Structures are given as C-alpha cells and as structure tokens.
Structure 1
Amino acid sequence: MKKLNSFIFLFSVISHLLFSQTKQDETFEKIRGNYEKMTTDDINAMPYVKMYIKKAKAENNYPKLVQGYRDARQFDYKNKMKYADSAISVSRKYGKRNDLSRDYLSKGIIYYFYQKNYKLALNQYLKAYELSKGLKDYYHLHKVLYHLGIVKEHLGYYEEALGHFNHCADYYRLKLNEDLHENERFNYKKAYLNSLHQMAVINRYLSNFSKCDSISQLGFDHTVGDSDFKLENSYFLKCKGILKYRNKNYDGAKADLEKALPIIKSRNDFAWISVIYYYLGKISEAQKNESTAIIYYSEIDSIFSKHEFILPETYKSYNHLIDFYKGKDVNKQLYYTNQLLKAESSLAKDYPYLSSKLHKDYDRNKLIEKNDKVEKTSKRKIALAQILLLAGAVALSFFIVQYFKNRKIKRQYDMLQKRISEGSYNVADITENATADPALRKTFLSPEMTIEIREKLEKFERELQFRKKGLTQNSIAGKLNTNSHYLSVYINENKGMNFNRYMAELRINYITNLLNTNSKYLNFTIEALAEECGIAARQNFSKLFFEINGIRPVDYIKKRKQELEIN
C-alpha cells in the first residue's frame, strides 16, 4: 500500500512538472487564442491572461507584458483600474508615444463607461490627445476624437459633438471597404456602430427625429442577427423604442425597450439602463398604469444611489415620484425631494470644470492648430505664388531667348540657302581678284607650277578624295606629286586660307550640299554625317559646321525639314 501511495505521489509530481513545462512552452499567440474572442468582462478569461502576463514577465518581453495588462483590463471587471495603471506604467517606461496614448485613452474609457466620471475621463482623454498629435495611427486618433465628442455631448454641446461622431463614422465606414484582417474588421465595425449610435442619440436631442430614425434603422440592420454585435443591436433597438414612444406607439415602444434591456443590463451600462427605465415609466403613465411607472422610476433612483450618476433626460423621474407620494407617504416624499436636489447638484457640479477644461485644453488648442495651419497654408500659398512668379519669369525669359535664337537661326539658314542657290557656296580660287604683280606676294610659284597644282587639286575635289579620313598636307602633296611647301603656298595664295581650313570647308560644303539636295541625309545622325564627309569626331564636325555655315547642323536639319514639310 505504501508503495502504491509513493507511486501515485511521484506520478502527480512528474505530471505537474510536465504540465507546467507544457504551459511554459506555449506561445503567446496560443495562450491568447484561448480567450481573445471571449466577451468583455468575462472573468473566465483571467486564468489564461495571468498565464500570458507571467510568461511575458519571465521573458522580460515588455510589449507582450503591456498586451497582457491590456487584456486583463478588458476582462477583469473588479480590477480594471489596477491593470489600466499597470499598462500605463510599462508603456511609459518601455513603450512609444502611441502605446502610452492608447493606454491613457483606455483608462479614460473605464472612468466614462464603468463609473460615468466625466471629469477623470476627460483628463485621460486630453493626455491621450496630446500624445497622439503627429502620429499616423488614425484608428486611435478617431477613438480619441469619439470620446471627446462624448464629453461634449454630456455638456450639451450637441452640434459640436455631432461633428465629432459624423467625422468618425465616415472614417470607419470607408475603412470597412478595405481588405482588413478579421480582428481589424471587427474593431472598425464596432467603432462605426458606436459612432452611428451617438449620432442617433444626438439627433434625437436636437429634435431631428426623422434623421434619428433613419440612423437607428441603419445601425439595427447592420447588427440584427449578428452575435458579435448583440449589445450594439440593443442600443439601436433602444433608440427605435424611444422614437415609437414619441409617435405614441406604446406597445411597439415597450416591446423594443424590454427586448433591449437584458443585453444592456448584462453589460452593466447603467446610464442607458436608466434611460430605458425612464421611458418604460413614461409608457406606463401613458397607459394609465401609474404603479408600474413608479416601479420603473424607483429603479432610476436605485441606480443614482449606487453610482451617483444621473442623466438630464432621466432626473425628471423624481418629479413623478414626489407627486406620487405627496399626501400618501411624507417620508418618501421628503426622500425623493432630497434625491432630486442631489441629482440637480450632481448634474451641475462638474459642468464648469468640464466646460473650462475642454475649452482650454482641446477646443482652444484645436483653434490654435487651425490658425497655425491657416498661417502655414498662407505662407505656402505666398511661397507658391513667388515660385510661380519666378517660374513665369524664367519661362518668359526662356521664350524670349528662344524667340531671338530662332530668329537668328532662321536668318543664318536663309543666308546659307541664298549662297547655295546663287552658286557662291564653294571653295573658289581668289587668283582672279589677286594682284598679278609677283613682287607684292610674300612667296610665289611659277605660272607653270601654279597651273599644275590647280589642275591636280580640281581633280582631287571633283573625285571627292577629301572624304577620306586621316588626310594630311604631306599625304595629299604626295598624291599630287608635289611637295607640301608648294601645296601650302598654293592654297594660301589661291584659296585665301591655310591647309586645315581648306580641308574643313571642302568637307562641310560637301555635306551641306548633300543635306540641301538629298532628303535622306536629313535623317542621318551627326556621327553618320561626320563619317560621310571624312571628319573623325562628332564634336569637331559640329564645331566646323557652325564656324563655316553660321548655324549648327541640328538647326540646319530642323529648318530644312520644316521647309520641305518632312516630319
């Protein structure tokens, strides 16, 4: 028996160690998968959440630790504020601005939703707002905007609050058209539905009943039959019930409100619970069931006594309670009178602080930011105007320069074409114009030698031998059976230029005549044209063409094509 007990003990120890090791080896994602789809405030999630936090601490994984505290904040109803502060503490030490902003916002939501403490909630919202400036987490930015709208709604700034919710609803609706992860889609849809709900509420406060009705129906249609959004569906059903009461459809109103109440109760949203009780009381009064109405109004007092919170919409229930007990029960009459005074005091006490704080730290800052933006925009416009003026001046200068440049090109082209058409565009001898007195020459050749070299050069030009690359004065003199000195003297005295200039003019004149008479050459590249006339380098060809013709080859080709109407 002792051996059996020892075996059982040993087995349990080993099993425990193995189980612990297995839990330790589980990934964060696997642990979180056990609870991430549980309903908010479901305490059954906490064993897994604590395991997640323990693993994060053991591994010094601070991003996961923050996530663990955030999850605990979501599921542990009694310790929400403790975990909210833990998340802020870790985010402040290890996180980024965006992390800290998100955690301040969440703490504010706890103050608002679970305690209806707008004063403390606003302080957290404004911290979140300051930290969110300049960030590109637009989902979070719109959450901050939404909750600031909630405070404005509470203060009665309905038009301003409606602007917040309209803006948020538009943003979330557009995001839902994108390809989102399942969790992202859930978050965006929830945020969109919450914005729609607040829009419906404020439109009712502003007596825009048809608008309230259409928004309520839209929200209801988006959520009906969807188990993920039962709470949101109940909010829209509540809105529809209140509108039916206004239209004196008392049975329909009662059915909607009674159907919405259990889900909203399960979420412990005592603010909207009190509103439902108020309208159920109003319906009972309309149906001449005063005792039932008093029961509903008494429930509103119970909520006020427990949470010290009441809405302007529901505090009038105390008037009915006082009137009901007048002359029947003095103690209850006095009790409800005192409660009415407390309710009025409660409604008034935070108003100056909230209004001043919201104006100073949000609306004023937004106005300053808007003015700064206007100033920056104005400066940008001035800078843009200056840039445009400068660009205009540069463009005008460019067009003026181009105009005169084109005029000059046309003039040079026309002059060149005139020379070609008149037959004066060639490398002609100048001996006819030169003096015949040999004594006036620096150097001279005999008449016989002059005639011989002229005839040989004419043949050289006629046969286009100058098109060969690499020709020199010595090589040409050899071809002509003369010496280079005599050749140089002849060219200088009879052509009026040195050897290099003579060769350049022969080649450029040749290619210019080709461009003028044969349109196929107009499609040649500059390199090909240089090759055709015997000039080795593209740059050298362009330079010589301009020196001799007074116009660049590209400009000549362009003008010639225009003249011939060639594209």
Structure 2
Amino acid sequence: MSSFYGQDFYSELRKKYWEYEENDDKAFNYINLYITTAKKQKNYSELFQAYDDAIRFSSQNKLKYADSAIAAAKLSGNNDLIGNAYLGKGTVYYFTYRKFQPALNEYLKADKYLLYSNDYFLKYQNLYHIGVVKSYLGYYKEASEIFIKCIKFFESNLQKDVHPNILFNNRRGYYNSLHQLIVCYQGLKQFQAAELLINKALKNIPDEAEFFQEKSYFYKSLGVNDFYFKRYDNSLYNLQRSLSGLKKVNDFSWSSVVYFYLGQSHSKKGNTGKSLENYRKVDSIFNKYSYIIPEVRNNYEELINHYKQSKNPQKELYYTKQLLKVDSVLSYDFKYLSNKIHKDYETKTLLAAKAQLEKKNSTSNILLIISVLLSGILICMVLYWFRRKIEIQKKYDHLIHEINSSKVEETVSNTSAREKNSKLDSGVVSNLNKKFAEFEKNKGFLEKGVTAGRLAIEFETNATYLSQFMNEFKESNFNTYINKLRIKYAADQIYRHKDWRKYSVEDIAIACGFSNRQSFSNFFYEQNGIRPAEFLKRVREEVMVEKIAD
C-alpha cells in the first residue's frame, strides 16, 4: 500500500482493526470512524486508505468500496493512489469473482497511472496480476518470466528495516509470486523445478494465520506434483490439507483444481465412487460461478466417458452439454483477454521500449527500418483483411438471396426429361420422388445417424435403387445430399428465427444432426463459402442495425 503513514490518529485506528481477519465486518467499528473523519477533513489520501482497507475487511461490498477508493484517489490528484485504486478493483474482480475480463481492464488502467511511478511495490504488484492473466491464457513461458522478476523484487525487500505493514505486503507478494511461478512450471510439465520451489516455500513460509491461505496454495501445488509423480496417497493427503484454507477465503477457483485432482487420484487408485464425487464438485462450482480453469476441462471428459461406459445416456448428455458451456466460457474469455493484453499492454510496452531506444541513440536508423517493415506488413494485413471482408460479404449476400428467393430447385420439364432417360422403372421413380418429398418435408435429415441403408428400408425399396435415384435426381451421393439439406436448414433457421441466433455454433451443429462443430463448420463453408460463426455474427449485426434504425 502507498499510504501506510499518516497522522497519529489514523495510524492508531488502523492498528485497532488490522488484527481482524480478512472479510471480518467487525473491523468496520473502526473503519467507519476512519472514513467519516477523513471526509470531514477532506484528507483524500487517508480517505483512499480507509476505503482500500474496507475492501479487505468487507464480506459483501468489496466492489462498492473499490469504486469509493477510486473516487477518493482521483480527488487526491495522486497518480500512485489512482493506480493503486484501479489495481485494488482489479484484484476484487480477480480474487473474489474470478472475472478475468473486468479484472484485466482495471489492471491496464492502473498500468497507465503507474507507468512513471517511483512506487515500485505498486508497479510490481500490477505486473504480478498481468502475469496471472498470461498464466490463465496458457502463456506459461511469458508469465514465468514476469513472476521471476516479481520474486526478485519482493524478496529483495524482505530484509529491509521497514514498517511492519510494508514487510507484510512484500512477504505476501513474494509467496504469491512463488506460487504462480510453480503453477507455470507445472503447466510447462517441469515438475522437478516446481517441487524444488514448493519445498522451499513450505520450509520458509511463516507459521502464522496471515499466511494460512498461501500455505494452502503450496499444499495444493504439492498435491498436483504428487499426482504427476504417481504418489497418489500423498496427492490425496496434500490436496485435502489445502482445502480448509481455500474454503476459508472462498477461493472456488483453486478449490475446483483440488477437487479435479482428488478425482484423478481416486480414479488411479480404483475408487470410482469417490472419483465421481469430486468430479461432480467441480461441476457444482462451475454451475455456481460460471468459471473454470482450462486444466480442469478434462473433468467433463472423465464424466462423459464414465457415463458412456456405464450406459447412462441421460448423464452422458448432461455432461456433454456442460462441456459445451465450459468451452463457450473459455473461448469467450480467451478471445477477449488475448486480444486485450496484446493490444493494450504488449503494444504499450513495445512503444515505451521504443521511446527508451530513441533517447539512447537518436541518430540510429534501425527503428526507422523496423517501422517501415512493420508498416509494410501492417498494410499487407489490412489489405488482406479488407479483401477478405469484401469476399465474405459477397458470400453472405448470396446466401441471404438464396434463403429469400425460395426458388424451386428444378422445372417440371427437366424432371420429366430425367424420368424418360432414367434406368429405373417409372413406378420406382414415382414412389421415391414421393418418399423423398415427405422425408424433406418432415425434416428427417435432422436425425443424427441417418443412413442410406436405413432410409431404403423405410422407403420400401433396396439400396441399389436408392443410390441410382440419388445419382440421377439428386445429383449427389447420400451423405452430400443429407449434409446439404442440414446446412440449408441451419442457414434458414438462423436467418428467420431470433432464438436460433442465441445458440452457439456447437448447439446448432448438434440440432441439425452433425456429430461435432468442426464437420458442421467445414460443410457449411464448402457449401456457402462462409463459416457458420461468421454468418451468425453478421445476421446478429444486421438485426442490431435494423433495431437502431427503427
């Protein structure tokens, strides 16, 4: 924190409530007096400090106090306090709600205010949180480099003769950075390196209540390592030890990881019942918070495989739908976070580095050459994007025209000509024409797993006649014919029915009889020259424009 020191009155008040545990509302007996006094005195730096402390001790209103802290910091006019306030709000979003998108937005705001700050604790604290986002996205190598820097900084301040609160914050920064570096090493499958850090952390971490949460993280990490080293009894023991500390602060994110690995370890020991019990706890957390760490995604594959093998289609379907929701949450988060962190953070970092280089060597032409090359690449990318956009728009317009035209596929004269030249008996042709018309009208093509053999039986004909009819009158083989009908139906439903526009591509694929998203997307593109995701997006945009125009 930036504002530990103030008038004696404020310092004495802080001492009175600082002994309370996090999320203990009894601290507000003193914090409210702190807030009232700072307001009366218009002491905005102390008012910020009061609201910042309120975030720590409030059990229900952390976001409210985070917004108040930002308002007080802005009134102070101190960029360090403003950056600290945005950092505090980002931490609430991240730790309390595990909402990475709004958390990252706040961290990036903080970064702007702290860019030229001399408060290195705040700068490294914000850098740590950006590293957490990178780790969540799976950029373990980049994130590990950030956490190594943070560890060096926080560790260098542990031996200094400083105020106890500053020492406490540096200790927490050190152990949290150490934990996140361990997570990166485990993500990179460097389990030996992870174990060395875990043992170091558990040996040195203070045996005090304030660090109970951090100790739980290291027991969790040790349990994960035990699992990968096939020490399943140790894994169960250490994972179970970690749960009490995680539950105490409602850290549902790492709790879900613990339950997943408990399930994995029980599975390896042959305890199917306990394994499923823990997998279901992961699902319960996801249902409650709509949040999941990517490495826990396999939890649903384990459940799906179990219920498939035990022939329980209801449970298999439920967890299949849950996995689709998980993938939807992850893909939405990943797309947003990855774009945001590279656009708002990486670009800014590169520009800052460029400015430093220009100061050191103003006569250098290297940057000019690089800029020209980058500009050329950027222009090529923009031109490609522009041409691709025009091409997609043409394909989209053509598809919409086909949907609206509702044209008859073939004229009567053409049909008669085909019948005259057909090798099939006219009675067979007439019967199959009627059967196929009923089949298309009743949307029989939507049924998953429909085959030519089964259809031949239903049409009271044989496979040879059906195949001959398909070649002569449908001008395609059976699979192509079915997929064309499905794709045409999907496009029509998306365009004409607003409820279908709410569905994901995966849900539409399944509803139209495809076994997976990829095959649906490939056939849709092959038939229309545009991916279903792009078609959905454009239909939604078109509807939105029409609403605004109205």
Q: Give the shorter-chain TM-score range.
A: 0.5 to 0.7
- Could you say if the C-alpha distance between residues 224 and 137 of structure 1 is closer, same or farther in structure 2, counting changes exceeding 3 Å? closer
- How far apart are 1:72 and its partner, in Å? 1.2
Instruction: Summarize the alignment of residues 334-353 of structure 1 with structure 2, pairs less than 5 Å apart.
Output: 334-353=317-336
Q: In the TM superposition, what whole-angstrom CA distance separates every residue of 1:354-382 from its partner, at most 9, and x where no partner exists?
A: 11111111111111211221222224999
Aligned to 1:366: 349
Point out which structure has higher relative CO (alpha carbons under 8 A, 6+ apart): 2
- Alpha-carbon distance in 2 for matches of 1:248, 1:366: 42
Paired with 1:242 and 1:342, the residues of 2 have a C-alpha distance of 26
Instruction: For residue 351 of structure 1, give the secondary structure of its aligned residue in structure 2.
Output: helix
Is residue 173 of structure 1 aligned with residue 155 of structure 2?
A: yes
| 1:56 lines up with 2:38 in the alignment | yes
Q: Partner of 1:248 in structure 2?
A: 230
Residue of structure 1 in register with 2:267 after alignment: 285
Match of 2:77 among 74, 77, 95: 95
Hey, what's the Cα distance between the residues in 2 that align with 1:338 and 1:183? 48
What secondary structure is seen at the aligned counterpart in 2 of 1:34? helix
Tell me the CA shift for residue 323 of structure 1: 2.4
What residue number does 2:145 align with? 163
CA distance in 1, matches of 2:165, 2:350: 35
Find the counterpart in structure 1 of residue 287 from structure 2: 305
Tell me what 1:104 maps to. 86
Once the 2 structures are TM-superposed, how far is the Cα of residue 272 of structure 1 from its aligned partner? Answer: 0.5
Distance 2:140 2:181 in 1: 10
Within 1, Cα distance between the matches of 2:98 and 2:363?
45
Residue 369 of structure 1 aligns with an amino acid whose one-letter code is A
Give, in whole Å, the separation in 2 of the partners of 1:62 and 1:117. Answer: 29
**In 2: Cα distance, 1:381 partner to 1:334 partner:** 63
Aligned equivalent of 1:198: 180
Q: Which residue of 1 aligns with 2:198?
A: 216
SS of residue matched to 2:294: coil
3-state SS of 2:291 partner: coil
Deviation track 1:491-523 (CA, whole Å, cap 9, x = no partner) reads xxxxxxxxxxxxxxxxxxxxxxxxxxxxxxxxx
Higher mean Cα deviation, 195-204 or 177-186?
A: 177-186
Give the number of aligned pairs: 358
Q: Does the Cα contact within 8 Å between 2:25 and 2:58 map onto a contact in 1?
A: yes
Deviations 1:229-261 (A, max 9, x none): 111111111111111111111111111111111
| 1:83 counterpart residue number | 65
Give the secondary structure class of the aligned counterpart of 1:304. Answer: helix
After the TM superposition, list the runs of 4 or more consecutive aligned residues in structure 1 that deviate by more than 4 angstroms. Answer: none
Distance 1:221 1:329 in 2: 47
Structure 1 CA distance, aligned partners of 2:207 and 2:104?
Answer: 35
Counterpart in the other structure of 1:510: none
Q: Give the letter for the 1:52 counterpart.
A: Y
Summarize deviations over 1:111-150 as a string: whole Å, max 9, x none: 1111111111111001100110111000000011111111
Counterpart CA distance in 1 for 2:301 and 2:362 is 59
Q: What amino acid is the match of 1:108?
A: G
Q: 2-side partners of 1:49 and 1:328: how far apart?
A: 58
Query: 1:321 maps to what in 2?
Result: 303
8 Å Cα contact 2:45-2:81 kept in structure 1: no
Larger-Rg structure: 1
Name the SS for the 1:44 alignment partner.
Answer: helix
Contact 1:88 1:104 in 2 (8 A): yes
C-alpha displacement of 1:332: 2.5
Pick the aligned partner of 2:315 from 298, 310, 332: 332
Structure 1 match to 2:475 = none
Distance in 2 (CA, whole Å) between partners of 1:206 and 1:323 is 26
Amino acid at match of 1:47: N
Aligned to 2:361, the other structure's residue is in SS state helix
Alignment of 1:432-511 (within 5 A): none
- Residue type at the aligned position of 1:73: I
Task: Answer yes or no: is the 8 Å Cα contact 2:247–2:255 preserved in 1.
Answer: yes
- Offset, 1:328: 4.8
Structure 1 residues 133, 178: CA separation in 2 closer, same or farther (over 3 Å shift)?
same
Local SS of the residue matching 2:243: helix
Contact 1:43 1:76 in 2 (8 A): yes
CA 1:218/1:59 → structure 2, altered by over 3 Å: closer, same or farther?
same
2:295 aligns to what SS in structure 1?
Answer: coil
What CA distance in whole angstroms lies between the structure 2 residues aligned with 1:315 and 1:112? 20
Q: TM-score, normalised by structure 1?
A: 0.61
The one of 110, 114, 118 aligned to 1:136: 118
Tell me the equivalent position of 2:27.
Answer: 45
- The one-letter amino acid of 2:269's match is Q
Task: Specify every segment of 5 or more residues in structure 1 that has no aligned partner in the other structure, as ranges.
Answer: 1-25, 383-567
Whether contact under 8 Å (1:223, 1:230) holds in the other structure is: no
The answer (yes or no) to whether the contact 2:35–2:51 under 8 Å persists in 1 is: yes
Q: Tell me the distance in 2 between the aligned counterparts of 1:268 and 1:329.
A: 33
- Identity percentage of aligned residues: 38
- How far apart, in 2, do the equivalents of 1:257 and 1:224 lie? 20
2:221 counterpart residue number: 239
State how far apart, in whole Å, the 2-side matches of 1:66 and 1:52 are.
10
Aligned-partner Cα distance in 1 for 2:362–2:19: 51
State the SS of the aligned residue for 1:134.
coil
Separation in 1 of the partners of 2:311 and 2:364?
Answer: 75
1: distance between equivalents of 2:119 and 2:328? 39
Q: Equivalents in 2 of 1:183, 1:224: separation in Å?
A: 15
Distance between the aligned counterparts of 1:224 and 1:51, measured in 2? 32
Task: Indicate if the aligned counterparts of 1:63 and 1:95 stay in contact, CA closer than 8 A.
Answer: no
Q: Paired residue for 1:421?
A: none
2:107 maps to what in 1? 125
Aligned to 1:271: 253
> Within 5 Å, which residues of 2 pair with 1:545-560?
none
Q: Retained in 1: the 8 A contact 2:44–2:75?
A: no
SS at 1:27 equivalent:
helix
**Contact 1:53-1:69 within 8 A present in 2 as well:** yes
Measured in 1, the distance between the counterparts of 2:47 and 2:177 equals 31
